[in-house]
Amino acid sequence: MSVDADTVRRVAHLARVAVAEDEVEHLRGELNAMLAFVEQLGEVDVKDVEPMTSVTPMAMKMRKDEVTDGGIGDDIVRNAPATEDHFFLVPKVVE
């Protein structure tokens, strides 16, 4: 896949990045180099490679799956401008 100058301008517009006209050719080369690298990655045989979350093997920390209120419900409700029966009071938004 090759990127042309119009595609560079469109990508810059979508990314909301100001690109001067004299920078377009340089950015076109940069984007083409990135796409070529990604195409190279597609050629690598990863059929026997296990998925991993890190480059160093490690076991994920596990905890018991329990539902709790976090133990700070009173502190949270204390920050509210208005409460009633341990709930936040908010203005009515639907008539």
> What are the tens digits of pLDDT across the range 15-25?
999 999 999 99
Q: What is the pLDDT of residue 27?
A: 95
Give me the residue label for tokens 């976090």.
Answer: 70
- pLDDT level of residue 3 (50, 70, 90 thresholds): very high
Beta strands in the chain (DSSP E): 83-84, 87-88
Cβ neighbors of 34 (< 8 A, separation 6 or more) are none
Q: How many CB atoms lie within 10 A of CB 12?
A: 16
- The residue behind tokens 């940069």 is 30
What are the residue boundaries of the structural domains of the chain, listed by start? 5-42
pLDDT of residue 73: 83
Residue with more model confidence, 53 or 4? 4
